[in-house]
Structure 1
Amino acid sequence: MNVVIAGGTGFIGKKLTDLLIKQGHSIFILTRDASNKPVKSSVQYIEWLHKDAKPEENLDQVDAVINLAGESIGSGRWTHQRKKKILQSRLDSTRAIINLIEQLSNKPKVLVNASAIGFYGNSLNKTFTERSEPSENNFLSEVVTKWENEAEKASKYGVRVVFCRLGVVLDPNEGALNRMLLPYQFFIGGPLGTGKQWLSWIHIDDAIRMFSFAVCQSDIVGAFNVTAPSPSQMNEFGKTLAGVLKRPYYFPTPSFALRLLLGEMSTLVLDGQKVIPQKAISQNYSYLFPTLPSALEDLLKK
C-alpha cells in the first residue's frame, strides 16, 4: 500500500515507518522541509504546511493516511500558552490532512488519526472501553474530543476513520518510562501519589503494530484503544519495575510535591483511567507483550 504519514519523524512515527517498510508498504512522509532528509528507498518526503506546498501534486495514489502530528503533551508545564499550542497544533495538522484528502482525486481508503485515552477523563473505579463516554471534563478530554471531531470530517469523502486512542507508550529511550527509571537507578524509587491510580500502558512494539492493524482491518471504525489488555495500578507498576531492575521500592513521592513541580501536567502521573482495548481483543489482535512483567523485561533489556 501507499501510506502517507504526518508526524513520521516523531517518537512513534519513526518506528511505525520502519515497521511499515518491513511489511512492504511505500511511505510518504509529510514534512515542512524535505531537504536533508535521510534517504530510504521506500520513503519519499513531501512538503506541506507552508503556503507554496501542494502535497497533492506528488500523491497520485494514496491507500491510507496516518496522522501523528501534534505538540508533545509531556515536554513542559501546561501554561496557558502551551495548552493553546497543544490543542492548536493538533487541530491545524488535522485540518491540513482533511484539506489534502479533499484535493486528492483518488481518495484514501482510511485515515488513522492518533488520539489519546485522555478522552475518558480520570477515575479510580470506572473501567473504560471504546463505547465509554468521558467521566469528566478536563483539558485532555477537551483536546481529544475536538481533535477527533476534526478527523471525523474525512468520512464525508467516503474515508474510513479510526481514532487510535493511545495509552502510556513504554519505550526504553523516549517517553514516560525513560523518566520513571531515574529514581530507581539512584535506589530511591517508590509510589507516585497514592499509588492507586490506574496506568493504561502499551509496549512501543505493540503500539506501532496496532496502528498497522487499524490500517489493514477494514471493519475497525471510530475509537480504537491502543493499550495493553492488563492495565495496572501505579503501585503494581512501580513494584514490577523495581523487581525487574532489582531495586528497592519504598521512597514515596507525595501528590502535593508533584503538583508543585509539574502543575496541571501532574495529572499525567497522579490521575489515571483503567482502559480496556475491547476492539483489539474482539478482533483477535495478537499482543507481543500483553502483561506488564513481559513488557518491562523486554524493554529494560534494550
Structure 2
Amino acid sequence: MKIAIAGGTGLVGRALTALLHEQGHEVITLTRGKPKNARHVQWLNGTLPLEQLEGIEAFVNLAGVSLNDGRWTAEQKEAIYHSRMTATEEMLRIVTQLSTPPQVIVNASAVGIYPISTTATYSETSTQRAQDFLGKTVADWEQKASRAKELGIRTCLARFGVILDTEAGALPLIALPYKLFVGGTIGSGKQWLSWIHVHDVARAILHAIETPSLEGAINFAAPQAERMKSFGKTVGRVLNRPHWLPVPSFALQLALGEKSVLVLGGQHVVPDKLMATGFTFQFPTLDEALHDLYKS
C-alpha cells in the first residue's frame, strides 16, 4: 500500500514508518521542514503536494504540537489547539483534491477526551466528555477529522493512551527519579494511567488501516491499565530502583501548572474495538512492556 503520514518524524510516526517499511509498504512523510529525501513531502506551506500523494490508499494524521513541550501557557495552549486544527483541515483539503481519495484516514486523538475519574471505566461507547482544555481540544479535533466521513472515507479516530518509549513521551520523565534513586508515588497514586507500548501503537494503526470494519473512535490503550502507584512500583522494579519518595500533587502543580493534569489526572480506558476485531497486543502487561523497553 501507499500510505501518507503527517507528523511522520515524531514518536509514533517513526515507529509506524519503520513497521510499514518492514511490511513492504510505500510511505510518504509529510513534513513542515525541508524534505530530506524523495519520500518526504513538504506541506502546510500554502501548496498542495498532490502529485506525490496521488494513489495513496491511507492517510495517517499524527501532526500537532506535543502536549509535553513546555508549560501550558495561554500561548502554548493555542499552539497545541491550532496545530491540530490546521493540520486536520489541510489533510481534508488534500484528500478532496486527489483524483482518487484514500480508502481510510487514521487521525490521532487522545483518551483525554474522557473525564478524569478514579472509578469509571471508558470504552468507545462511553458518551462522557471532559470539559477541560485537553478534553475540549480532542473533541474539536475529532469533530473536524470526522468530516472525512462525508467524503465517503472510512475514518478512524485513534484515541491514544500514554505512549511508552524510552526516548520521548511521558516515560522518561516518570523513570528519571527512579534512575536517581528518588522515585516514588506521584500524587495520590490512585489515578489511572492507560498506557500502550509505542510498537503496539504502530501495529494498531496498521490494523486499523487493514480492517475495513474499524471506524470511528478507537481506544489505543493496553488491556490492563495501571493506577499510578502500581505503575511507579513496576518502573522501580524493572529498573532495580527503590520506590520510596512520594511526589505530592501541589509540588507538581507548582512545577508544571495546568499541564500537571497529565500525571495527576487519568482515565481507565479499555480497547474494546481493537480486541473485538482480533488485534493481539504484543505487550499486554506493563511488566512486559517495560522489560522490552529497558531490555531487562
Q: Which TM-score band applies after superposition, normalised by the shorter structure? A: over 0.9
Structure 2 equivalent of residue 91 of structure 1: 85
Separation in 2 of the partners of 1:289 and 1:136? 28
Separation in 2 of the partners of 1:147 and 1:297? 34
- Residue of 232, 239, 253 corresponding to 1:238: 232
1:178-203 deviations in whole A, cap 9, x for unaligned? 11111111111100000000000001
What does 1:114-133 align with in structure 2 at a 5 Å threshold? 114-133=108-127
- Residue of 199, 207, 214 corresponding to 2:201: 207
After TM superposition, the score normalised by the length of structure 2 is 0.97
Q: Does 1:175 align with 2:169?
A: yes
Q: What displacement does 1:134 show?
A: 2.8
1:53-88 deviations in whole A, cap 9, x for unaligned? 221132221100000000001111111111111000
Structure 1 equivalent of residue 27 of structure 2: 27
Structure 2 equivalent of residue 50 of structure 1: 45
Q: Check conservation: 2:130, 2:136, Cα contact below 8 A.
A: no
Q: Check conservation: 1:123, 1:135, Cα contact below 8 A.
A: no
Separation in 2 of the partners of 1:256 and 1:44? 47
1:203-244 deviations in whole A, cap 9, x for unaligned? 111011111111111100100111000000001111111111
Equivalent residue pairs, number: 296
Separation in 2 of the partners of 1:289 and 1:249? 23
Separation in 1 of the partners of 2:130 and 2:106? 26
SS of residue matched to 1:301 = coil
SS of residue matched to 1:136 = coil
Q: Does 1:255 align with 2:249?
A: yes
Structure 1 vs Structure 2: percent identity of aligned residues?
45
Q: Check conservation: 1:3, 1:64, Cα contact below 8 A.
A: yes
Segment drifting more, 237-246 vs 163-172: 237-246
* AA partner of residue 101 (structure 1): V
Q: Check conservation: 1:170, 1:177, Cα contact below 8 A.
A: yes
Q: What displacement does 1:34 show?
A: 4.0
* AA partner of residue 4 (structure 2): V
Structure 2 equivalent of residue 290 of structure 1: 284
Structure 2 equivalent of residue 193 of structure 1: 187
Q: Check conservation: 1:203, 1:295, Cα contact below 8 A.
A: yes
Separation in 1 of the partners of 2:289 and 2:42? 37
Structure 1 equivalent of residue 72 of structure 2: 78
Q: What displacement does 1:135 show?
A: 4.5
SS of residue matched to 2:106 = strand
- Residue of 131, 154, 158 corresponding to 1:160: 154
Aligned residues: CA RMSD? 1.2
After TM superposition, the score normalised by the length of structure 1 is 0.95
